[in-house]
Amino acid sequence: MDQPKNLAREGGHLSVARITDAWYPLAASDELGARPLARKLYGMPLVVFRGADGRPAALIDRCAHRNAPLSAGRVAGGELECSYHGWRFEAGGRCTHVPSLCGDPPKRRVLASFATREEGGLVWAYATPNVEPTREPFAIAPAEAGYTVAIRVVDAPATLHATIENALDVPHTAFLHRGLFRGAGKRNRIRAVVTRAADRVQTEYVGEPRPEGLVGRLLSPSGGIVTHYDRFILPSIAEVEYRIGAENHILVTACGTPVDDFVTRLYAVIRFRTRFPGWLVKLALEPIALRIFGQDAAMLAKQSATIQSFGGEHYTSTAVDLMGPQIWRLMRRAELGRITPGDSTPDGWRREIDLDV
Ligand code: FES
Ligand SMILES: [Fe+2]
């Protein structure tokens, strides 16, 4: 076994891919009301507000005049007003008004602006400023009749890659979340089938009995056959789908936003249908889901701290690390411009492995 030459600092590599020709959520639609919001994307401070037509706008969060944060200002008549000297900016980043100035304000665009969309209950921004994108944000499948929908926003103190891998990693669930999801009783051997397309990777788990932990029991007390898919879709979508028996279906689409290299915000759009009323399932599952996420966030924080204290990462993967290496490969290729997000053409690659969970 090789020993690190320098015990303290062996690293260098960080799994940080900056995919800037892509859309990321900056807010849930109902977070964005009359007040501007301060957000960050790849470390860049942005201000999000609703313009004159009610549509979201995103500008760099720095007043062109003297660098005051515009998110500390207010929205007046669909324009953003700086709280320092009252300069006003419209949704496209042009200054429209300078108090006490006789004559016209600067004519050119003075603030970088980011294209926005409002879709699927989320406000999205394109990560490259001052361009009109040629593609649209990831289309979140709308909920069918009879489904309960919830959107939850959570922060993970880790890279986008580590956060998305965590969301789609099955082997840790029986260990870190022992008893809550899997790992309450005996382990089961199941088959994982991994397939890829140009912009995504999917694992289907075949032959999985209903998970024995609390969550599985609540969703389907009588058991049933499980159909389970985990998907990663560029640039930052983690999707988990479960069908248990004929009547229980849960689909979680988590859209990751790289706030900073080591902070990821997840906008989770949750849709489910069970034989119990939606409000009851929400009431019962929400504290457990938050506890599970709390365990994940605490572990991701420790993982990030360890990576930072070593100055880089060191990974050893085995066959059961199904998704992480594939997610990294896709992110890296997208960063280098070798993949177009939205291109879902299968590439013919396929792996099958058995694992005990
Ligand atoms: S700093 Fe914004 S108006 Fe002066
Ligand atoms: Fe987890």
- pLDDT tens, N- to C-terminus, the chain (357 residues): 444 455 455 567 888 999 999 999 999 999 999 999 999 999 999 999 999 999 999 999 999 999 999 999 999 999 999 999 999 999 999 999 999 888 787 777 789 999 999 999 999 999 999 999 999 999 998 888 899 999 999 999 999 999 999 999 998 988 899 888 766 667 778 899 999 999 999 999 988 877 777 777 777 777 778 889 999 999 999 999 999 887 889 999 999 999 999 999 999 999 999 888 888 888 888 888 899 999 999 999 999 999 999 999 999 999 899 999 999 999 999 999 988 767 888 989 999 999 887
Q: Is the CB–ligand 1 distance for residue 87 below 6 Å?
A: yes
108 Cα: distance to centroid of ligand 2 (angstroms): 48
Considering the entire predicted model, what is its pTM? 0.92
Q: Which ligand is nearest to the CA of 230?
A: 2
Q: Is the CB–ligand 1 distance for residue 64 below 6 Å?
A: no
Q: Which ligand is nearest to the CA of 170?
A: 2
298 Cα: distance to centroid of ligand 2 (angstroms): 10
Count CA atoms within 13 Å of residue 206 on its CB side.
8
Distance CA 160, CA 300 (A): 11
Residue 325: per-residue pLDDT: 95
Distance CA 79, CA 294 (A): 38
- Please report, as a single letter, which amino acid is at residue 209: P
Residue 6: per-residue pLDDT: 52
Atom 3 of ligand 1, residue of closest alpha carbon:
85
Residue 143: per-residue pLDDT: 85
CA angle 264, 339, 39 (to 5 degrees): 25
299 Cα: distance to centroid of ligand 2 (angstroms): 9
Q: Calculate the CA 91 to chain-centre distance.
A: 25
22 Cα: distance to centroid of ligand 1 (angstroms): 31
Q: Does residue 105 have a cis peptide bond before it, meaning omega lies within 30 degrees of 0?
A: no
Q: Is the CB–ligand 1 distance for residue 97 below 6 Å?
A: no
User: 121 exposed, middle or buried (CB, 10 Å; 0-12, 13-18, 19+)?
Assistant: middle
Pocket test for ligand 1, best of 81, 82, 111 (most atoms within 8 A of CB): 82
Going by their DSSP bridges, the two strands 226-233 and 237-244 should be labelled as: antiparallel
79 Cα: distance to centroid of ligand 1 (angstroms): 14
279 Cα: distance to centroid of ligand 2 (angstroms): 24
Pocket test for ligand 1, best of 47, 66, 96, 110 (most atoms within 8 A of CB): 66
Residue 185: per-residue pLDDT: 65
Q: Is the CB–ligand 1 distance for residue 84 below 6 Å?
A: yes
Distance CA 68, CA 38 (A): 12
33 Cα: distance to centroid of ligand 2 (angstroms): 32
Atom 1 of ligand 1, residue of closest alpha carbon:
66
